[in-house]
């Protein structure tokens, strides 16, 4: 990887980290979840980046991919996971953290955070993915919780949020070794429930998968707007703010029928246990790693 590319990853990581901390400062009882997401997306642009994906604020038994389409959902006493991604010319920084508004689940928050910190300590060229998974698993189970086994960390590529390698949250036997120059997001999830998630319904996050010609003018206008986001995920809320709910629903429905978009529905713990998340993006270096999403 050339120096210019690495610097873009560094800049994206710094922006993502600053935006995540900003988002955390906004999370208070009575505040609308969508308001925090909107302000965080705007902060990313203010800092000189673009959104790698819509800011997501998942709560309680929802592990990921939650973003309300309106301001009716508000914070109260939930366990809140904030996932923020920024990119600079397509090079991505991805990070997440969990806040316990109830004050009752400090160990759950600690479990995913400690798992992340312990995993980062062992990252270097030659470390096997299964070894990272074991460290994550051991840290989470020490607190009496389960790692979410069907979610994982991931590589980050140019305009690509999830590339190889998949970084497991348990020892899955994968002997693939990290190498110098790899960019990976380490992403432990700790569950007080089943440690396994399922895809729910009513997605509000999408990605343009296969553009196709359409005749309807409304759908064509929406597709033109989506094209501005490139090939990265976008939120239904972004479209509603420009086109209104009825036109947005019509266009998304037609695009779904035509197989044009990929849906990212909320991911929910199978036993509806509370879930915490922690994430950092790292660059594997000659002797270890550099945390890119660190202020």
Active site residue 94: yes
Dihedral sign, CA of 251, 198, 56, 169? negative
On whether the CB atoms of residues 96 and 119 are closer than 8 A, the answer is no
Complete DSSP assignment for 102-149? SSS-HHHHHHHHHHHHHHHHH-STT-BHHHHHHHHHHHHHHTT-EE-T
Question: Considering 182, 187, 254, 269, which one is annotated as catalytic?
Answer: 187
Residue pointed to by tokens 């999370």: 27
Q: Is 105 a catalytic residue?
A: no
Query: Hey, CA dihedral for 155, 276, 49, 9, is it positive or negative?
Result: negative
**Is the distance from CB of 70 to CB of 244 less than 8 angstroms?**
no
Whether 182 is catalytic is no
Catalytic residue among 46, 162, 199, 210: 162
Evaluated on CA atoms 262, 85, 63, 203, the torsion sign reads negative
Q: Answer yes or no: 187 catalytic.
A: yes
- 100 labelled catalytic: no
Catalytic residue among 50, 61, 83, 114: 83
User: Both tokens of residue 218?
Assistant: 């409304």
* Options 65, 105, 137, 154, the catalytic residue: 154
Choose, from 94, 100, 254, 269, the residue flagged as catalytic.
94
Residue 68 parent element (H or E): none
Is residue 93 within 8 A of residue 12, CB to CB? The reply is yes
Q: Are strands 205-208 and 234-235 parallel, antiparallel or unpaired?
A: antiparallel
131 noted as active-site residue: no
Residues with a catalytic annotation lie at 83, 94, 154, 162, 187, 279
């Amino acid at each position: 990887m050339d120096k210019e590319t690495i610097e873009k990853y560094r800049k994206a990581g710094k922006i993502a980290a600053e935006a995540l901390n900003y988002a955390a400062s906004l999370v208070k009882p009575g505040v609308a979840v969508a308001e925090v997401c909107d302000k965080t997306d705007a902060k990313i642009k203010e800092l000189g980046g673009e959104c790698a994906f819509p800011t997501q604020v998942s709560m309680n038994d929802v592990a990921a991919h939650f973003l309300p389409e309106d301001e009716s959902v508000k914070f109260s006493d939930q366990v809140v996971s904030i996932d923020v991604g920024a990119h600079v010319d397509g090079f991505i920084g991805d990070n997440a953290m969990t806040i316990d508004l109830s004050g009752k689940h400090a160990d759950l928050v600690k479990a995913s955070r400690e798992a992340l910190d312990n995993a980062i300590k062992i990252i270097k060229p030659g470390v096997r993915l299964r070894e990272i998974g074991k460290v994550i698993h051991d840290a989470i189970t020490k607190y009496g919780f389960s790692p979410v086994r069907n979610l994982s960390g991931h590589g980050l590529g140019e305009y690509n949020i999830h590339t190889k390698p998949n970084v497991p949250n348990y020892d899955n036997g994968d002997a693939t070794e990290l190498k110098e120059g790899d960019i990976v997001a380490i992403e432990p999830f700790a569950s007080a429930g089943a440690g396994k998630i399922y895809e729910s319904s009513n997605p509000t996050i999408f990605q343009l998968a296969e553009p196709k010609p359409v005749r309807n003018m409304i759908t064509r206008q929406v597709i033109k707007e989506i094209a501005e986001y490139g090939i990265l995920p976008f939120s239904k809320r972004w479209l509603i703010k420009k086109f209104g709910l009825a036109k947005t629903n019509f266009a998304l429905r037609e695009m779904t029928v035509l197989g044009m978009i990929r849906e990212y529905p909320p991911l929910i713990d199978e036993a509806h246990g509370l879930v915490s998340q922690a994430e950092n993006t790292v660059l594997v270096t000659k002797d270890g790693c550099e945390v890119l999403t660190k202020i």
